Chain A
Amino acid sequence: MSSYTGGRAGLTGAERTIEADSWRIGETTLTSRFFLGTGLFPNPYVQMEAIEASGAEVLTFAIRRVNLDAAEDDSILQHLQGHSFIYLPNTSGARTADEAVRIARLSRASGLSDWIKVEISANERTLLPDPIETLKATEILVKEGFTVLPYISDDPVICKRLEEAGAAAVMPGAAPIGTGLGLLNPYNIGLIVEESTVPVIVDAGLGTASDVTKAMELGVSGVLMNTPVAKSKDPVRMAEAMKHAITAGRLAYLSGRMAKKRYASASSGLDSFKLQ
């Protein structure tokens, strides 16, 4: 992991580790582990600065909000012209698999991306994902050749089923969308990571940098966020904080944490100094 990448004098070992620590979704190699949502920012200036500070390579947005006939004219996407981001459009607002599939097809037909975040909610108060409809939509869209990243509840069984259906990654929520409650069930996220053979991306519900670090320490491949960045007092600085939090959690995960102990222990054990 920490092999020297060459030609980059002045990098610390940890920086080299992060630089060499790329990962893949489908056929695409990614360096950043930060997926950033483009909604809710106070204005386009702050949005662009925050995207820059985040180092994100993948940006997500709701297809229903986009002007699909002319993406280059869209009120949000117009500001991203001239950059080389990977777009992860989402089907937010869909209430059934059929709706999500229709939205995904519209998105691909517009030439935006063949990546799709399946997001299907049946309840306007919690916006929690409907697992059955999500699985159905994933099956259909995988067959149609999409790179499918479903947003799903933090349930290891449904995550496995989505993987078997051909999802390119699974994206369990930390907590309901926009709540900022943080990682409500780290045990489940840990299990999902253990059992998954595709990348696990924690999507939704994170609130601040420590939530992100905790998620990354569990071994997830990345995190997807929007509200905790866009709705902070300083979205640009928060984007950078989140970037560092991802790095910290990732390095801690790669390093392997010490075992937890019940009592204090001296680093040189007392027993070894006792005369027999």
Chain B
Amino acid sequence: MKQRILVMGGGVIGLASAFELAGRGYEVTVLEAGRCGGQASGAAAGMLAPYSENLESPDDFFQLCRASLELYPEWQRRVRQVSACGFEYTASGSLYAVCHEADMLALESRRLWQREHGSSAEILEGDRLFAAEAQLSRQVRAALWTPEESHVYAPDYVKALEQGCRRLGVQIEEDLGGIRLGDLDERIEAAAADGRFFTGDQLVIAAGAWAGEWSGLLGIRIPVRPIRGQICAYRAEGSDPPLRHMVFSSQGYLVQKEGGTLVCGASEDMAGFDTSVTERGIDRLIHWNKKMIPALEGRKPFHRWAGLRPATQDGAPLIGRLQGHPRVLLAVGHYRNGILLSPVTAKLTADCIDGRALPAWCAAFRPERFGPV
């Protein structure tokens, strides 16, 4: 008989895990308190940028990000094929732009270590830089060009994952409101506020910023907290040449999507579970981005939104099986990188469900590493 897996959370991590598990022949049910992709997943800018997101050194978290980027071409093909849904996946490459001469040393250190880890990055300056990206301000001193980085349109990608799950026979239960967990040892029992009741052989908790709620029940510290990320978007204007690369800087990022929408993120702050947009959060993006792309001077974003990024105490996600509750797995705490990390998390989670041990370097993501409550 097929093992039955409950996945708690219909965000990108829960859906990707369900998609992978269903593909491996498990009977999967996704339990979602609200709507699938309704939180951080749908709010993400969808950048697949392990090199631009990890500036310092090739630590275990960087390796996880890089491993996931490598899975992406095949993974997105499968999601596309199974779901019959399209979504933007653009191999744009990225530019990490700097404005000070003093940034050159750090840029060069980064180029050196990242080239040993799958990047073919080069430092672009002057004419080469502005030929590569005509819209960039001439105040930009140089940029690290990383051709390997790409981006997806996150809302469509998450919809495709959801559709792919349904096509593979995953049962998706939405609008459950509060979910209570009963037994975790003989089998998994979950009850929704409206009385719906679910059982399974194993449970994957992919509850994003809300994962900490399960700390008491599981008896372990789950130091995951919501960090609000505010983003805004501009409509393309006919006169603008397209922004060909994702552009990063120490202050934020810019990425142009199919159809021309230019997305600018992100202002981070701590506001509990509040997802409202603030003037201050968006204004700092507007002040900064016109210095990167002068054409944005005087323009107003047509859309502003915010998502809650599940941030952990040490910056790394919690992925793997609990020793204290062997039927329970965690896949939470992906912070700014949930879209990027969805294929690798799905793979590692499914490997755990298959009963395989994770590679030694994944010890950095052990869900019990923060100790008991």
Contacts and interface: CB of A to CB of B under 8 A. Distances in A.
Given A70-B287, A79-B269, A93-B102, A40 B56 contact: yes
A103 B311 contact: no
Contacts of B270: 44-45, 48
A12 B276 CA distance: 47
Given A44-B227, A233-B314, A235-B313, A64 B102 contact: yes
A124 B108 contact: yes
Q: Binding site of A, secondary structure by majority: helix, strand, loop or mixed?
A: mixed
Contacts of B112: 124
Contact of B369 (A75, A91, A178, A233): A233
Q: Binding site of B, secondary structure by majority: helix, strand, loop or mixed?
A: mixed
Interface string B248-285: 00111000000000000001111000000000000110
B227 A67 contact: no
A78 interface: yes
Contacts of A232: 314
Contact of A78 (B101, B284, B312, B370): B284
A95 interface: yes
Contact of A75 (B100, B108, B109, B251): B251
B104 interface: yes
B103 A93 contact: yes
A234 interface: yes
Interface string A68-106: 011001110011000000000001111100010011000
Interface string B303-340: 00000010111111000000000000000000100000
Nearest to B61: A42
Contacts of B316: 42
A44 B105 contact: no
A232 B291 CA distance: 35
Contacts of B247: none
A73 B288 contact: yes
A99 B284 CA distance: 28
Contact of B268 (A73, A75, A91): A75
Place the interface of chain A in its size category. 35 or more
Contacts, number: 95
A93 B100 contact: yes
B98 interface: yes
Interface string A46-82: 1010000000000000111111011001110011000
B181 interface: no
B169 to A, nearest CB: 37
Contact of A43 (B56, B102, B105, B335): B335
Contacts of B104: 93
B315 A91 contact: no
A147 interface: no
Given A43-B227, A46-B311, A93-B102, A69 B291 contact: yes
A130 to B, nearest CB: 12
A134 interface: no
Contacts of B66: none
B106 to A, nearest CB: 6
Interface in B90-147: 98, 100-106, 108-109, 112
Interface of B: 56, 98, 100-106, 108-109, 112, 225, 227, 250-252, 267-270, 283-284, 287-288, 291, 309, 311-316, 335, 369-370
Given A75-B250, A103-B102, 17 more contacts: A42-B311, A42-B312, A42-B314, A48-B270, A62-B102, A63-B102, A64-B250, A67-B250, A67-B288, A70-B287, A73-B284, A93-B104, A99-B101, A103-B100, A124-B105, A233-B369, A235-B313
19 contacts: A43-B268, A43-B309, A44-B268, A44-B269, A45-B227, A45-B311, A46-B313, A48-B270, A62-B102, A63-B102, A64-B103, A64-B106, A73-B251, A75-B252, A78-B269, A78-B284, A93-B102, A94-B102, A233-B370
